[in-house]
Amino acid sequence: MSLRTLFKQRSKWSLTIILFILAMPPLVFAQEAIDRQRSFVYGINAGIPDAVIGTFAPPTVDTIYLMSTETSIVSPRITSIYYWPITNDYRASWGILNEVVEGELEIISGLQTVETIEQVTYTIHFFQGRGSSSKPTLFIGEEAEVANAQFEADQIAYRDAVWAYEDARQAWLDAAREAQKKGVDPNLFPEGPIEPPAPTTFSTGLNSGFPIKLDPGNYRIRTRAADGSIVPKSERDLVVFSPRRTAVGYEVIPEQRWTFPEQSNDLEGAILGRENSSVYLKPFVSREYPAVSYARLQDPQDVSTGQVGEWTWVAGEPIDNAVLEQVNNGQVLGQIPLQPYTVKQSPGGRLGYEILEYNSNTPFETPRVDFVAYRLPLESNNRNFSVQLRTDDETLLLGSNRAVRVAGNNSPFILALISLLPLLAGGCILWWRQQQTYRLKSSADSV
C-alpha cells in the first residue's frame, strides 16, 4: 500500500469520525435538561476573615458549615438544579429560576429555639485592582440600600466620564490632524485628554437573606413560612466552628523563583534559602481550623472523609502595619521595612528577571507594583537566626517568630563524595564478609 493511499484512507476515517461527533446530540445539554428539577435550596455567602465564599446547599446536603467569627448570609431559594456527572455534584440554574422564599429562619439548639431571624436586604461589595487588599464588605438593611445606591451612582458617573472622554479624545484627534496639515510643530500641541480610571468596586446587587453569626456549636435550622408552616426540605443541621489557634504565616518568595512562592505556617518550621541570595516575606494572619469543617464550608457537597481530629492552617488577611526584625540569641540585629517591589524581565532572548524596589520614576514602560514584602538577605556569615514582626506600637506579634536557615553552596566534588559514602561502606562490608568466609573455609580445609 502506497503512502498516498494510506493517507487518503486515514483522511476518510478522520472525516468520518468528525462528522460522527458533530452528528451526536449535545449530551451535556441533554443531561442538564433531563435532570433539571425545581427544588428548595439554601444559597450561602459564607464569611471568612478575608473573603466571602459563595456556595449553595441542595437537598442532598444535610449539614451547613459556617464560621463563628464572621457574619454569613443564608438565603432560602426555589431554583432549578441538575446533576453534573463530571464533577459529581449538583449545579443551580440561577438564571432560569431564582425565587425568594419568604419567611423566618429558626435556629434550634437541642430542643429549644434559640433565635429567630428575619429576612433582610443585603449586598456585598468586592474590591479589585493591583495592590488592593481590602476584604469584601457586607452591607445589611438600610446600609445595603445606601451602599447600592452609591454603587449605582458611581457606575453612572463612570459611564458619563467615559462618554465625555471619548468625545474629548475625538475632538483632540481632529484638532491634531488639522494642526498637522497646517505644519504646526507636534511638540507644541497640547496633550490629549486623560482616560478616567476604571471602577475597582464590584457589587452583588441587592438580595435578601438571613444574616447569621453564632457561637461555636451544633444547631438545627429551618425556614418557617408566613402561614406558620415549615417549608419542605428546609430543615438542615448547622455546624458553627472557630479557629483553634491564630498565628502569623509567611508567604516566602525565593529570589530565583519569584513565581513559585511557598508558605510557612508551621510555627516550629524554618525558612530556608541559599547563601548570598534573598527571600521576600509576605506576612499574613494564619488560623488553624478543623479540616473537614473548613473544606465543607467552601463546598457543602464535599464528600471527602477526613479524620475529625485533623486541622489545617488557612491564610487570612495580610499584615501591613509592622516591621520585620532579625534576631540572634535574643538580640535584634536589624529591622526591615515593608516595601513594594516590581519585577523587570531581562531584555533580549535571555531568560530571567530582576526584582527591584518599586519607584514611580522607574524607567519602565508601565511602572507597576508586583508585590509588597520584606526583603530578607541571606548572608554566608550568618547562617542561623530568626525573624519576628513588631507592630508600629512596638508590640511583638505572637506566633510571628520563625527560624531561618541558610544553606551553603557546596562544591560538586564534595557532594559527589558524600553520595559515594554509602557505596564505599557497602563495599567494605562485602569485602570483610568475603574475607571471613575465606578464613573459615581455609580453617575447615586444614582440619
Full DSSP string of 25-64: --HHHHHHHHH-EEEEEEEEEEEETTEEEEEEE-TT--EE
Domain ranges of the chain: 1-35, 38-242, 245-407, 412-441
Phi-psi domain of 164 (left: phi exceeds 0; alpha: psi -120 through 50; beta: other): alpha
Q: Annotate 106-136 with b (16+ C-beta within 10 A) or e (fewer).
A: bbeeeeeeeeeeebebbbbbbeeeeeeeebb
Helical ranges in 239-300 per DSSP H: 291-298
Residue of 50, 100, 332 whose CA lies nearest to 207? 100
Q: What angle do CA 84, 90, 95 make, to 5 degrees?
A: 95
Alpha helices in 220-336 (DSSP H): 291-298
Predicted pLDDT at 419: 64
- Which residues, 6+ apart, have CB-to-CB distance to 303 below 8 Å? 88
Which residues are bridge partners to 194 per DSSP?
none
pTM comes to 0.75
Q: What is the pLDDT along the chain (447 residues), one digit of tens a residue?
A: 443 444 344 444 444 443 344 444 444 444 444 578 999 999 999 999 988 999 999 999 999 999 999 999 999 999 999 999 988 899 999 999 999 999 999 999 998 999 999 999 999 999 876 544 568 999 999 999 999 999 999 999 999 999 999 999 999 888 888 888 888 777 778 888 999 998 889 999 999 999 999 999 999 999 999 999 999 999 999 999 999 999 999 999 988 787 788 888 878 888 888 888 889 999 999 999 999 999 999 999 998 766 667 999 998 889 988 999 999 888 888 899 999 988 887 665 455 778 888 876 655 555 678 889 999 998 877 778 899 999 988 889 988 999 998 876 554 555 455 566 677 777 777 766 776 666 665 655 555
Q: Which grid cell is 136?
A: 469584601
Residue 73's CB: how many other CB atoms inside 10 A? 24
**Which CATH class name applies to 245-407?**
mainly beta
pLDDT at site 382:
75
